[in-house]
A and B are shown apart, each in its own frame.
Chain A
């Protein structure tokens, strides 16, 4: 079966959705991603949806699920690159994706993940300047 590739980069998992997703493909991504988080101990997941031309309630639910499941598995998920027309449509549809972290683009998304993941421990002076 067709699968969406999941790339690993250090503590992060990266996913770029480049195809018009049918429901089973979205479900497979949810299963694959949670399995990969558990297996690799990844702390952050970045999902780029800039190629997605629509997000309907099904895809919206999968995005919420991935976000919630990753949190339980001690990882943060950030969705990046949503097209403005998709955002307008989502809100009108009634989906505001509560609890889902978003960023405008990949760069901002990675910056957000780094802040969430690399929280300095107390007494650790190295990174404290940032906070």
Chain B
């Protein structure tokens, strides 16, 4: 099993690279095409948030193993402005920018595990996981 890796997220090309990496690692551990597609889509949403709203940051890709079950965890971290009202940010259709407001709420629906920690003025950390 490959080790964890941390990739930079500072511009649009980084988002595409992170998507490709998540796709190849998801396929490697045997996620179905639908699950890989869901995880890559969640990655795209969260990576864009990191770049656009967080002012850049990183994504860490971690392999998971629980007995015979395998999975992949993605951790998005930025040192941006943070999110003041998490409940509002997780509401479908709410956006502080020009998006559709589906990034966070959609990513939560597409993954098996979802956690968000955000401190105003310090940054945001979003962790998602997809299990086989």
A93:B34 contact, CB within 8 angstroms = no
Interface centre among A53, A57, A61, A85 (most CB of B within 10 A): A57
A93-B106, A94-B105 are contacts. A53–B15 as well, Cβ < 8 Å?
Answer: no
- Which residues from chain B sit less than 8 Å from chain A, CB to CB? 12-13, 15-16, 19-20, 23, 33-34, 36-38, 40-41, 44-45, 48, 92, 99-100, 102-103, 105-106, 109-110
A92 to B102, CA, bound (A): 10
| Cβ-based interface call for A73 (8 A) | no
Contact residues of B: prevailing secondary structure:
helix
Which residues from B are CB-within-8-Å of A53? 23, 37, 40
Contact residues, A85-116 vs B (CB, 8 A): 85-86, 88-89, 92-95
A55 to B42, CA, bound (A): 10
B102:A95 contact, CB within 8 angstroms = yes
In angstroms, how far is the closest chain A Cβ from the Cβ of B129? Answer: 16
A20-B16, A22-B16, A53-B23 are contacts. A58–B41 as well, Cβ < 8 Å?
Answer: no
Nearest 7 CB-CB pairings of A with B: A93-B106, A85-B37, A22-B12, A56-B44, A57-B102, A85-B34, A94-B102
B109:A93 contact, CB within 8 angstroms = yes
